[in-house]
Amino acid sequence: MRAVFALRHSWAGIVATWRGESAFRQEVCLAVLLLPIAAVVVVSAAERVLLAGSVLLVLLVELLNSSIEAAIDRISLERHELSGRAKDCGSAAVMIALVIAAMTWGVICGPLAWHWMRGWI
């Protein structure tokens, strides 16, 4: 029964983030596009996991960033150096996750895309 309640709370967190964070909505849309590609592109199983995992990592870090921002805003809406630093660090973590995803997709799918495009030229 605890698993059901945990799943319900997890879903509530995803829904709340979807409703409140436009960046999360954009990243989910990107995931909806990229995850099926990761499932069908002709690569090894390990590369497939890296492609999908890098996309899911972005969503994971965005959820954590959103929770940090919500907690900071709950404490106080007044500007404070430490609050700003916490939010900036969360934002930086999302950026690093996006760079990891871009690098992963570029290294694994870049040569495939280049080879495919050369066939059209």
Residue type, 121: I
Distance between CA atoms of residues 100 and 53, nearest Å? 10
> Of the listed 21, 27, 47, 62, which one is catalytic?
62
d(CA 26, CA 96): 16
- CA neighbours closer than 13 Å in the CB half-sphere of residue 38: 22
Known catalytic residue at 62 = yes
Q: Is the dihedral of CA 120, 102, 62, 50 positive or negative?
A: positive
Distances (CA, A) of 84 to 9, 23, 61, 121: 28, 18, 18, 50
Catalytic site residues?
62
